Amino acid sequence: MDFQLSDDQRALRSGMRDLLDAVFDRDRMRAAVERGGTLDRSLWRELGAAGFFALRLPEEAGGVGLGLPEAVLLFEEAGRALLPGPLVATHLAAGLVKGAAEGEAVVTAVDGDLPVAHLAEADAVLVGADTLVGEPLRAFVAAARPVRSMDPLTPLHRTGAAGTAGVGAAGVATGPAG
């Protein structure tokens, strides 16, 4: 197997680095810290317009149609830039949650008893195979409690085991949400 990047992959990585340098510079990062980690919705939409959240979504579904290795390269660049937000959850929700692919929706995810990032700003929450939107999402957020985060760009909430119990009975939307 050849583990070297192709010319196309190097160009893709370089293009993402240039994009992130342009849309998330030090001033924008400082502003994010001053806002207490609150997401910049205009930045989120810029990322969506650039196709960041629709990387692996097939072209016929409005996505970029890249493979996993290319998506990994782009997420590495996002990490290098310290880009805040529930990037992976929104990426995974592209094609499932209305507006996720375009950066119009912020999507976070619950993973067991782990704290949930950016819950208060989420338009949808992935809970296993279910997607919380609307009133079930509002009830879920209301039941969560904020916890201290070591990262000033990542506000966290604790939902606990009780936070996900009975989610299906709460009228959770499954499949495409919106």
CATH value at residue 28: 1.10.540.10
Which two tokens mark 66? 């890249």
Instruction: Specify the amino acid at residue 51.
Output: G
Whether 2 is in a domain gets the answer: no
pLDDT > 70? residue 178: no
Q: Report how many domains make up the chain.
A: 2
Domain final residue pick, 85, 110, 145: 85
Whole-prediction pTM value? 0.86
Decide if 19 is inside a domain.
Answer: yes
Q: In this structure, are 97 and 51 located in the same domain?
A: no
* Percentage with pLDDT > 90 across the chain: 81
Name which of 44, 38, 75, 54 is nearest 149 in CA terms: 38
pLDDT at 18 over 80: yes
Q: Which tokens hold the place of 177?
A: 């949400």
First vs last C-alpha separation in the chain:
42
Can you give the pLDDT at residue 160? 65
Clarify whether residues 11 and 52 are in a common domain.
yes
101 and 80, same domain (yes or no) = no
Residue after which a domain boundary falls, among 27, 53, 85? 85
Per-residue pLDDT, averaged over 116-131, amounts to 93
Q: pLDDT for 24-38, tens place per residue?
A: 999 999 999 999 889
Full domain range(s) for residue 55: 7-85
State percent of the chain over pLDDT 70: 89
**Rounded Cα gap, residues 75 and 167, in angstroms:** 30
- The pLDDT of 12-19, averaged and rounded, is 96
Does any domain span residue 153?
yes
Q: Inform me whether the pLDDT recorded for 173 exceeds 70.
A: no
Question: Are 98 and 79 contained in the same domain?
Answer: no
Pick from 62, 85, 108: which residue ends a domain?
85
Which whole number is the average pLDDT over 58-84?
A: 94
Task: Give residue 16's Cα distance to chain centre.
Answer: 17
